[in-house]
């Protein structure tokens, strides 16, 4: 059996995305069929559309999603029909070298239900990040579903599936921010603001938000930044030093993915501090640093993949903190839109007008 639903598809490189009919098969062994309730619009969806990720068109976009499990295939123990779940794009396999060494957040197995959904004419679709959730229903690996408290607004919950989790995790899981720390976050989009929230949750005393856009800095304050720096107007490294008694920050989180802002992060931290790169660079980018400074400043230069998150541990915990009023995740939802509005949402995202547009289904 199959079902026919509406989904947002990028048919060719650069072409505007369109809502078309998508055919979704029944879940096979280890798979789950999810009725999507909400899915955020992320830069990665735009990268797929523009050809920045691959050439496997047509793509079924959307990956920051929450919904209800509708059916499961054989051998599924993680979830059952009726469960409210957040989808993740890196299901932990439990068997690869990273998993078997007890470091499942580095799991490198791709464990997704790929390329089973099709267009009406049978053309296979490539689901974005193995999810494809700008669709009324999607088929995923059961391990991509994490059951959480259904009391949360699905539009808010879905955002934990990608950028917001990456930011929170960059601060807590990768950066190891601790109480009393000083933290600087360079780039205050959804990922950077997630890092600010994470730093606040971990008890950071000073949280310095850096951006080139005053609107983003105003939002950063709402998420908990204690100080803001517009790096168009002033020297970032000097400003962060001044705000940290001349020392530099204990943890500096780069949430853009550019060499010049990485260099700022490198020089803006205290001796033996930590730099976390959570922004994703492009292949041609190169980094130039004095090796003597890399040695002399000590500390750690780390990257954060998906916030080094463990969905089964982190999603339910963060949802519960939100429901307790301790994590204002709803502030990331700038607008709620329909499936047909994704193309317009890409434009708003590019102009910095929104943190996240979320499609409701």
Of the two residues 90 and 241, which places its CB atom closer to Zn ion in the complex? 90
Sequence-separated (6 or more) residues with CB below 8 Å from residue 186: 192, 210, 211, 231, 236, 252, 253, 254, 255, 256, 261, 264, 265, 268
Among 11, 19, 53, 96, binds Zn ion (CB under 5 A): 96
| Window 161-190: residues binding ligand APR (CB under 6 A) | 163, 166, 186-190
Q: State the number of CA atoms in the 13 A half-sphere of 339 facing the CB.
A: 20
Asked if residues 154 and 38 have their Cβ atoms less than 8 Å apart, the reply is yes
Among 213, 320, 335, 341, binds ligand APR (CB under 6 A): 213
Helix (H) or strand (E) holding 128: none
Of the two residues 107 and 204, which places its CB atom closer to Zn ion in the complex? 107
Residues 294, 142: Cα–Cα separation, whole Å? 43
Is cis: bond before 249, omega within 30 of 0?
A: no
Piece of 17-25, 95-103, 128-136, 276-284 that binds ligand APR (CB under 6 A): 276-284
Q: Is 255 in the site for ligand APR (CB under 6 A)?
A: yes
Among 200, 216, 227, 241, binds ligand APR (CB under 6 A): 216
Of the two residues 43 and 137, which places its CB atom closer to ligand APR in the complex? 43
Q: Is 42 in the site for Zn ion (CB under 5 A)?
A: yes
Residue 263 Cβ vs ligand APR, minimum distance, rounded to whole Å: 11
Residues 217, 352: Cα–Cα separation, whole Å? 12
> In terms of Cα–Cα distance, which of 96, 85, 107 is closest to 35?
85
Of the two residues 88 and 231, which places its CB atom closer to ligand APR in the complex? 231
Residues 254, 303: Cα–Cα separation, whole Å? 9
Among 96, 109, 212, 301, binds ligand APR (CB under 6 A): 212
State which residue has the least CB distance to ligand APR: 189
Q: Is 279 in the site for ligand APR (CB under 6 A)?
A: yes
Q: Is 133 in the site for Zn ion (CB under 5 A)?
A: no
Among 112, 126, 261, 304, binds ligand APR (CB under 6 A): 261
Name the 3-class secondary structure at 54.
Answer: coil
**Which residues form the interface with Zn ion (CB under 5 A)?**
42, 44, 93, 96, 99, 107, 109, 162
């Amino acid at each position: 059996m199959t079902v026919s639903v509406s989904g947002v598809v990028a048919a060719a490189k650069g072409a505007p995305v369109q809502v078309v009919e998508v055919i979704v098969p029944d879940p096979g062994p280890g798979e789950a069929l999810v009725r999507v309730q909400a899915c955020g619009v992320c830069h990665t969806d735009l990268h797929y559309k523009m050809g920045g990720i691959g050439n496997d068109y047509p793509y079924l976009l959307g990956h920051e999603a929450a919904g209800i499990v509708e059916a499961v295939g054989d051998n599924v123990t993680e979830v059952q029909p009726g469960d409210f779940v957040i989808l993740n794009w890196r299901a932990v396999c439990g068997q690869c070298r990273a998993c078997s060494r007890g470091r499942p957040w580095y799991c490198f197995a791709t464990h997704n239900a790929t390329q089973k959904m099709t267009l009406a004419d049978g053309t296979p679709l490539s689901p974005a990040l193995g999810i494809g959730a700008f669709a009324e229903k999607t088929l995923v690996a059961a391990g991509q579903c994490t059951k959480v408290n259904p009391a949360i607004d699905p539009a808010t919950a879905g955002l934990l599936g990608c950028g917001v989790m990456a930011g929170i995790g960059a601060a807590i899981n990768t950066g190891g921010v601790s109480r009393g720390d000083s933290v600087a976050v360079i780039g205050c989009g959804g990922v950077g603001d997630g890092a600010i929230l994470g730093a606040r949750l971990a008890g950071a005393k000073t949280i310095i938000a850096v951006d080139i856009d005053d609107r983003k800095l105003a939002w950063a304050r709402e998420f908990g930044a204690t100080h803001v720096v517009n790096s168009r107007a002033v020297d970032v490294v000097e400003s962060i030093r001044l705000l940290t008694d001349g020392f530099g920050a204990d943890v500096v989180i780069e949430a853009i993915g550019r060499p010049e802002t990485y260099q700022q992060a490198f020089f803006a931290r205290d001796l033996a501090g930590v730099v976390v790169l959570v922004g994703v660079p492009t292949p041609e980018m190169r980094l130039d640093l004095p090796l003597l400074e890399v040695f002399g400043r000590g500390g750690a230069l780390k990257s954060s993949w998906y916030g080094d998150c463990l969905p089964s541990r982190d999603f339910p915990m963060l949802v519960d903190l939100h429901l307790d009023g301790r994590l204002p995740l709803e502030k990331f939802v700038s607008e709620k839109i329909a499936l047909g509005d994704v193309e317009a949402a890409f434009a708003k995202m590019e102009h910095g007008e929104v943190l996240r547009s979320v499609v409701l289904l």
